[in-house]
Amino acid sequence: MTPHLLDRATARRIAVRAQLLDAHRPADLLSTVDRLTFLQIDPTAAVAPNADLVAWTRLGAGYHPNDLVRALEHERSLFEHRAMIRPMADLSLHLAEMAAWPPDARRRDWLAANDSFRRYVLDVLRDAGPRLSRDIEDRSVVPWPSSGWTNNRNVTQMLEFLAARGEVAVAGRVGRQRTWDLAERVYPATAPVSAEEAARRRAERRLGSLGVARAAVVGDAGEPARIEGTSGVWRVAPAALDDAPFTGRTALLSPFDRLVHDRVRAKELFDFDYRLEMYVPKTQRRWGYFALPVLHHDRLVGKVDATADRRASVLRVDAIHPDVPFTPELTAAVHAEMAALASWSGLRDLRLPTR
């Protein structure tokens, strides 16, 4: 079909609205995760854990981290799988992939060599119920051959592999530590969708959450589009092509937020240059350890270098890096959002840069 022709402002507004970052906030956590398709889990909590920060950015002060715990551990309306939190309603779209895992000989060979270890881990969980990895004895026959962080962490590695295969699942958390149980006790009985159909539906849902994306990200989902100032063909979600008026707002985004996660897309659509600098030497950082991108209506306008100092109960803003000139209105909106973030985080004070 003939590609839709979009100017960049329209494409940006489609992307912002798809990510629930326009002025019309979603109603609740479950509908938010359903639209976004997942919340990414990341241990960095310079401001707040990523999943909570992304949820707060959409839902505002009405969101509490306990809402996420309740949905995961009590209601089972969400599930945690491979560092992503997804709607339980999407479980059937992942079962075929779990059944085919692992995809490579290295991991298949390790599992085969440690089959007795695998059966022991399953027996422990079956008999004892949810357990932390440290509560399970390492009975590996062959250690996991890694030069990275997984060295000599055979129990955790086995649990990760069994979770990827859909044999065990994350049942909850004690602090930041995961508890594991048999998948049949965590997941409801669900008929799997065929691998081909699951891939198609997941691509459609992914595009719906992004609004516009390259085919490398969403395959043939949606309809083709060309966006002024960019090369090649994009894919656009048909439902996003409406004439509804756009009303924006100001938001502080996690560096892992899907609006900015694809740095090339952020540059093409928003002319926004960004990289996460937590692994960059301090003297070489441009924006800060965990700088928060700033969205204002349909533009990404800067970064806020902020840290939650919980001991002092302060949200400390070391710098605001504007990408465009900040008008008094924009400055007030960004300050108000920082104050809202401090309040939601339970911090008594917001400390702005002195210059």
Task: Yes or no: say if 7 and 228 are a contact pair by the CB < 8 Å rule.
Answer: yes
State the Cα–Cα distance between residues 136 and 126, nearest whole angstrom. 12
pLDDT above 70 for 341 = yes
3-class SS of residue 79: strand
Mean pLDDT for all residues in the chain: 96
pLDDT score of 329: 97
Q: Which residues contact 261 (CB under 8 A, 6 or more apart)?
A: none
pLDDT above 80 for 355 = no
Please state the φ and ψ torsions of residue 127, each to the nearest 5 degrees. -85, -35
Amino acid, res. 171: A
pLDDT score of 148: 58
pLDDT band at 149 (very low <50, low <70, confident <90, very high): low
pLDDT band at 147 (very low <50, low <70, confident <90, very high): low
Residue range 180-195: mean pLDDT, rounded: 97
pLDDT above 80 for 29 = yes
pLDDT band at 1 (very low <50, low <70, confident <90, very high): confident
Task: Yes or no: say if 295 and 259 are a contact pair by the CB < 8 Å rule.
Answer: yes
* Spans of all domains in the chain: 4-76+198-351, 92-185
Residue range 86-95: mean pLDDT, rounded: 98
pLDDT band at 41 (very low <50, low <70, confident <90, very high): very high
pLDDT band at 47 (very low <50, low <70, confident <90, very high): very high
On whether the 92-185 domain is CATH 1.10.10.10, my answer is yes
Q: For 284-332, how does the pLDDT look when each residue is reduced to its tens digit (9 = 90+)?
A: 999 999 999 999 999 999 999 999 999 999 999 999 999 999 999 999 9
pLDDT band at 8 (very low <50, low <70, confident <90, very high): very high
pLDDT above 80 for 2 = yes
State the Cα–Cα distance between residues 56 and 70, nearest whole angstrom. 16
